[in-house]
Amino acid sequence: MAQGDLEIVLLDILKELHSKYKSLQEGVVANYIPELAKVNPDLFSICIVTVDGQVYEIGDYEQLFTIQSISKVFAYGLALEDHGQVEVLKRVGVEPTGEAFNAIILDEQSKRPYNPMVNAGAIATTSLIKGSGATERLNRMLDMFQRYIGRDVFVDISVFTSERSTGHRNRAMAHLMLNFGMIDRNIEEALDLYFQQCAVIVNCHDLAVMAATLANRGINPISKKQAVDKRYIKDILSVMYTCGMYNFAGEWAYKIGIPAKSGVCGGIIAVVPHKMGIGVFSPPLDARGNSVRGVKVCEELSQQLGLHLFECSDQGWKYGEEIC
């Protein structure tokens, strides 16, 4: 199949899925953060970026929103670069919890948060980011996002303020981890950086570029800049695969079969190693905090393109080879 024919196939699939699920009314927009409750539930976009920089997108892909929990993936990568795998593992585990993303639980034996994709683990991860003070750590975080996205990024101050003023559950997690020595930095400073990373402003196109960067050994396929040391890609993708979709992670791995991360903004990123990154944005969430339309779109993309990591059907191998 020629490149032009492949473009037509992918665009047709995206158009079909967007049309199929645009009228779906299931799910509820996140409202535990007041600013998030103001989002239009009808917004919906899908974007694919391949590792050679081809872009296929439809819907409201330029609509801005805050990245929320999807940021945990990239903060984890920065913590790994700052400290290495061994040191990070001392503070944050890599086991799925089977619990909600905001559960106040730690591993009973190690006293670590279970993984960096749930809130407790993400707060511990963010507290590891190096810097001489709050401003330097924030600037390093923003620079990291800029490498993944390919443009300057900013924090939505209203969302940050909203999260900061209502984040009592996250404060409880931080105090619990301080008690067991998993956080040794000023709690409010660590929480502020965590709330700021969640309030970074992106769009669906950005999500797909970020996912494609992970698929491309840490190299942004548009800017060609190295966003993260390639030695940590396997660590990042492994945790995404087992823990990225919260207490839906097992069913996601079984049905869809690619590393992914969701956020209460309604975004999902999915990574097909060496092939592509997928971004979906649709604010209404299911009971687990995952985008309803997003999950359905990713499931169909996986089936139609044969993207499951363990796919071995004729269709899977055919599309898998040609998308590269």
Average pLDDT per block of 10 residues along the chain, 324 residues long: 64 96 95 88 98 97 97 98 96 85 77 90 94 94 98 96 89 86 85 96 98 98 97 98 93 97 97 98 95 98 95 56 44
Three-state SS for 67? coil
Which positions ≥6 away from 44 have C-beta within 8 Å? 18, 21, 22, 59, 60, 281, 282, 293
Catalytic residue among 29, 159, 209, 264: 264
**Quick check: is 61 catalytic?**
no
Catalytic residue among 69, 71, 162, 262: 69
Say what the pLDDT of residue 3 is.
58
**Quick check: is 246 catalytic?**
yes
**Quick check: is 69 catalytic?**
yes
Binding residues: 69, 119, 163, 170, 194, 246, 264
Cβ-based neighbour number of residue 89 at 10 Å: 15
3-state helix, strand, coil in the chain (%, to 5): 50, 10, 35
Sorted by where each starts, the structural domains of the chain and their CATH numbers stand as 3-65+203-323 (3.40.710.10), 69-198 (3.40.710.10)
| Cα 322 from Cα 293, distance rounded (Å) | 27
The per-residue DSSP string of 100-136 comes to: -TT-----TTT-S-S-TTSHHHHHHHHHT---SSHHH
Catalytic residue among 45, 61, 71, 72: 72
Binding residues for substrate: 69, 119, 163, 170, 194, 246, 264
Say what the pLDDT of residue 246 is.
86
Say what the pLDDT of residue 173 is.
85
Q: Quote the crossing angle between the two packed helices 187-198 and 71-83, to the nearest 10°.
A: 130
Q: Which two tokens stand for residue 231?
A: 């030695």
Residue 129's closest CA among 64, 43, 194?
194
Catalytic residue among 61, 76, 148, 194: 194
Say what the pLDDT of residue 324 is.
37
| Cα 242 from Cα 76, distance rounded (Å) | 15
Catalytic residue among 61, 76, 246, 319: 246
